[in-house]
Structure 1
């Protein structure tokens, strides 16, 4: 195929260029790379702060840039990201340690100095949805040929996951044996368990949206879907059947084009779904990993699975959804609303489920810093 020949030629050229870059001396530097955002995450910052305390002479560099649309992005976006990749390559070639929270092409594609260590800490507390090598040649996955050519997720020295319950699924998604995965919850756990931080964040949000103090807050965090017709209808059903005794905050995915069309529904664009957990009394989702974070805070969970059969066919899930999840599960929103209104919830079941997938620790960031220090 012409496309494949061009890609192989490009990879060969970049490999030669990277070989030259590797001749530069290694610096006492720790490099963070992400394509989840155009700015460093709060978790990168939390880890960096701990590492600087351990070694004041340690250089910390963060390279964060998104590629909206991925392989379907515009030519301009691809060129811009290509230039950014050259910056990544120079930094990788002269760093001691790289920490990722997403797939990084230069890390997986090239052969690195033997002294370089790479840690993949991924960007979610859990992995309910199948991904990576679990869904090759499927509707929402990459092709086997492209994954092989791009050496997808290769060259990791350590992979972090939040708990034993999903160690195997994470390893499978990255294409590694289970023993390559280390149980190491993300730094966000420290914030989720910090009562003072939570109280201040909630106060900040309510100051911005005073009506949230008037009634209990229900936060709805749906998963992004490429085809949103069924989602639009389900969201309309939710809004039309909403009980005005509760506030509704809908935090849809940034790429979602669905319309809410009701002024009573808040979207709180200034705040992330993570931030809004601190103001929420109840959480509704479907297949989003926000449920693990909500469970850490012991927020009652409800599951609006209006497209369950289709989603399972297209993407697949890493748990027995209908048997395992701790809360009302329904494609009929009236049942979700009735369950919230009842005030009844099985918190023991929530904790048992959470503890299966997440190792609870009050010092997650320190644990990560101690682990990384040994790799430098």
Structure 2
């Protein structure tokens, strides 16, 4: 039954798409996300740069989460219209309409993904695993089909991304996300740091700020509660502020008045960090761009690694402390034992910055090239 419903939906969308193709194609790039009701920062930066430097290009951002299936049905029809009448389609995660229409889409579809850097396996490399989708779902929804190009932060991950998206490695190009520019901009960093402190005045008393940014886990680890208790017990709250930045999908909550929880990106807690504790999250790249020491609290490494899998051995190849002992991490913070030079070299391998100009400019130039059907360099 599910297969029939999806087939009917794909056929219906195809009919709508071809009807919409009768309308004039505009000099427009449409950017689509289902992560939130607001435009992702990368889409906002793309739209702003093109408005300033290439005003002949219109940018439309469609942002609608898939919370309500009925309302999202109407959003799918809207997306179909814009896909049919735009010169290029940009997505930053799975887009149901793109997957169902697939190769029927005449405009180039560019997947820029949503994470700075990469380390975890995803997509087709985690099919039928606890952290991935089933092969049946992947087949029925035609997940990650229809891409003409895929942007990655470093060609070191070309083969892994090709496998994850099940695409030809030849369509992958190197271009870090536009928001990388903001992490590297000292003026923006200081402005955002002030914004966090203004929103949370307690952070302005001079104590260093430890920000804890764990990755999302589909299943709650059996030892999570104990691990969080050990982490809080290790922190000297007279010396440090402890800020929790939850993953948008996380169910983890700290029921402790000493912990300051700052969700989302307005303001972004990461800018207030003097130290970052993470685990298997690509936030370690964002912290690296900010020049903030990173420590990895891998309290469930054995089970998570078995469920998910990684593109490289982060327990040895990320040049920082990797441990399941919270007290050891806090001791390292106390001692200031972090190799900034080694981490900078790690960052250079994983996020390749453009030789000239900004990441935003580089991305926008490539999008225009695809929209105009220019040959890839």
TM over 0.5, shorter chain: yes
Of 140, 153, 159, 1:149 maps to 140
Aligned pair in 2 of structure 1 residues 232, 255: CA closer, same or farther (>3 Å)?
A: farther
TM-score by length of structure 1 reads 0.92
Higher alpha-carbon deviation: 48-57 or 29-38: 48-57
Matched, 1:370 2:362: no
C-alpha separation between the residues in 2 aligned to 1:97 and 1:308? 41
Of 94, 102, 121, 2:112 maps to 121
Q: Is the 8 A contact 1:93 1:112 kept in 2?
A: no
Q: Is the 8 A contact 1:121 1:159 kept in 2?
A: yes
What does residue 267 of structure 1 align with?
261
TM-score by length of structure 2 reads 0.92
Q: Is the 8 A contact 2:287 2:294 kept in 1?
A: yes
3-state SS of 1:99 partner = strand
What does residue 157 of structure 2 align with?
166
3-state SS of 2:271 partner = coil
1:21 CA displacement: 2.1
Matched, 1:93 2:88: no
What does residue 353 of structure 1 align with?
346
What does residue 62 of structure 2 align with?
63
C-alpha separation between the residues in 1 aligned to 2:358 and 2:59? 21
3-state SS of 1:266 partner = strand
C-alpha separation between the residues in 2 aligned to 1:257 and 1:352? 34
C-alpha separation between the residues in 2 aligned to 1:111 and 1:254? 28
Mapping of residues 6-155 of structure 1, within 5 Å: 6-68=5-67, 77-110=68-101, 115-155=106-146
Of 226, 229, 242, 1:233 maps to 226
C-alpha separation between the residues in 1 aligned to 2:366 and 2:159? 21
Deviations 1:199-225 (A, max 9, x none): 111112112223323211111001122
Cα RMSD (Å): 1.9
C-alpha separation between the residues in 2 aligned to 1:127 and 1:161? 9
Q: Is the 8 A contact 1:221 1:273 kept in 2?
A: no
Of 208, 211, 218, 1:219 maps to 211
What does residue 72 of structure 1 align with?
none
1:12 CA displacement: 2.1
C-alpha separation between the residues in 1 aligned to 2:320 and 2:195? 29
Q: Structure 1 stretches of 5 or more lacking a match?
A: 69-76
Matched, 1:298 2:297: no
Aligned residues: 366
C-alpha separation between the residues in 1 aligned to 2:144 and 2:185? 33
1:20 CA displacement: 1.9
C-alpha separation between the residues in 2 aligned to 1:224 and 1:62? 26
Matched, 1:181 2:172: yes
Q: Is the 8 A contact 2:195 2:267 kept in 1?
A: no
Higher alpha-carbon deviation: 164-173 or 271-280: 271-280
Matched, 1:204 2:165: no
Q: Is the 8 A contact 2:246 2:262 kept in 1?
A: no
Aligned pair in 2 of structure 1 residues 331, 111: CA closer, same or farther (>3 Å)?
A: closer
Higher alpha-carbon deviation: 358-367 or 303-312: 358-367
What does residue 308 of structure 2 align with?
315
Q: Is the 8 A contact 1:127 1:169 kept in 2?
A: no
C-alpha separation between the residues in 2 aligned to 1:188 and 1:357? 15
Aligned pair in 2 of structure 1 residues 222, 303: CA closer, same or farther (>3 Å)?
A: same
Deviations 1:15-43 (A, max 9, x none): 22322222222112110101121111122
C-alpha separation between the residues in 2 aligned to 1:296 and 1:55? 28
1:111 CA displacement: 5.1
